[in-house]
Amino acid sequence: MNTAQKLLVDVHTHVYLPRYAQLLRSRTTAPRILTRLSGPDNKPEERLVILDNEPSGGRPVGAQYWDRDEKLAFMDKHGIDISIVSSANPWLDFLPASTARSLANELNDDLESYCSTSPIIAETRRKRLYGFGLLPLVPEITTESLLDTVQQIAALPHLKGIIMGTRGVGKGLDDEALDPVWAAIEKAGLVVFLHPHYGVDSKQWGEKDNGHVLPLALGFPFETTIATTRLILSGVFDRFPALRMLLAHSGGALPQLSSRLASCIDHDPVVASRLKHDARYYLGRLYYDAVAYGSAELRFVSDVIARSDSYSSTAASADSHVAPKLGSAQMMWGTDHPFFPPLSNTEKWKSVVENLDAITGVKEWTQEEKDGVRGGNALSLFNL
């Protein structure tokens, strides 16, 4: 592995670009940024309210959410060479179509200049910042607007993909209305980063006050699990075999549930007849961030990816002479910055260190595989 492939690359790191933060400040309902007076000297303090069940006073928000120097300082502190930055949830989901369209175009241009003017890593001539653009995925948007925005992103040299929530244009990502969008993204070679925001029905969380633990630890990954499963069942990955999709939080519960999913499909001939392969095959077509916080979980996901080719319905890839797939090659490290800041003034963020230690701790991975997950795989996937 050469020096470039030893770079530390963060594929899961967010921003509220200044233009978007300004929009949040102008709103009186969630998602919003409000100002309240706090502390003994009644100083104004900005607070973020984005989640459904967020206490009405929200949580502290500051420059680390929008200031590029803060992102670079965070990267320096943790030895991160390159970040592929994406807008944080809830993106444009709450806006009317015309506003969503113009704001998507403006935010994509803003992100391009955020990245293109970032410092260069001398030995490699790469920039330190790249980005995922945004589509105006809201009800009533025209397909033409979505396709124009895919073309805009594809033409911006530092944007390497598109971050996407799970709602599509109102009916989820398995909506056939999105087929032209998948086709355009596939053709442009952009990577879709699938990221949750809504979680699952909050009635499931009961009546005890468990803060944000249940929606974030379970609701977010379950949302990704459901959206990805619906994509598989809709045949999107059969119709668009070169579409590249990166799943947040290591694909949620899907790796653990994929054999059960395959069995349920087997017992439902109508659904089974829609798919070219066993469900487990499609898990090996996907990419996974390594934001799972534990070595056992990372190892498990890589094993599920590695076995996927044996579930292909085509003889060639099921052939026992073909070298087995290296599961770790489809996994890549991330931080979720600026979310999950440390609660005390520690030198490094616990959430960052934990996810790096998790990679180091996978005993079954070679050093080369670990270097791949830390950065080399992202350099390849995003063609950096």
Nearer of residues 51 and 378 to ligand 5CU, judged by Cβ: 51
Nearer of residues 216 and 233 to ligand 5CU, judged by Cβ: 216
Residue 216 in the binding site for ligand 5CU (CB under 6 A): yes
Residue 50 in the binding site for ligand 5CU (CB under 6 A): yes
Size of the residue set binding ligand 5CU (CB under 6 A) = 8
Nearer of residues 114 and 220 to ligand 5CU, judged by Cβ: 220
Residues 132-191 binding ligand 5CU (CB under 6 A) are none
Closest CA to 26 of 87, 110, 103: 103
Q: Residues 3-6: contacts with CB within 8 Å, 24+ apart?
A: 3/123, 3/124, 4/123, 4/124, 4/126, 4/379, 5/371, 5/372, 5/375, 5/376, 5/379, 6/371, 6/374, 6/375, 6/376
Single-letter residue type at 61: V
What count of other Cβ atoms lies within 10 Å of the Cβ of residue 97?
16
Nearer of residues 293 and 339 to ligand 5CU, judged by Cβ: 339
Closest distance between ligand 5CU and the C-beta of residue 350, in Å?
14
Nearer of residues 234 and 335 to ligand 5CU, judged by Cβ: 335
Instruction: Give the alpha-carbon dihedral of 182, 185, 189, 191, to 10 degrees.
Output: -80
Residue 290 in the binding site for ligand 5CU (CB under 6 A): no
Q: Phi and psi of 185, rounded to 5°?
A: -65, -45
Residue 305 in the binding site for ligand 5CU (CB under 6 A): no
Closest CA to 134 of 104, 154, 95: 104
Closest distance between ligand 5CU and the C-beta of residue 92, in Å?
15
Please, which residues bridge with residue 163 across strands?
134, 193
Residue nearest to ligand 5CU (CB): 339
Residue 298 in the binding site for ligand 5CU (CB under 6 A): no
Residue 51 in the binding site for ligand 5CU (CB under 6 A): yes
Closest distance between ligand 5CU and the C-beta of residue 211, in Å?
11
Nearer of residues 249 and 280 to ligand 5CU, judged by Cβ: 249
Q: Which residues contact 229 (CB under 8 A, 6 or more apart)?
A: 254, 261
Residues 319-338 binding ligand 5CU (CB under 6 A) are 336
108 by DSSP, 3-state: which? helix
Closest distance between ligand 5CU and the C-beta of residue 370, in Å?
24
Enter the tokens of residue 296. 């056992």
Residues 58-117 binding ligand 5CU (CB under 6 A) are 88-89
Please, which residues bridge with residue 36 across strands?
45
Closest distance between ligand 5CU and the C-beta of residue 130, in Å?
18
Single-letter residue type at 194: L
Chain residues that interact with ligand 5CU, rule: CB under 6 A: 14, 50-51, 88-89, 216, 336, 339
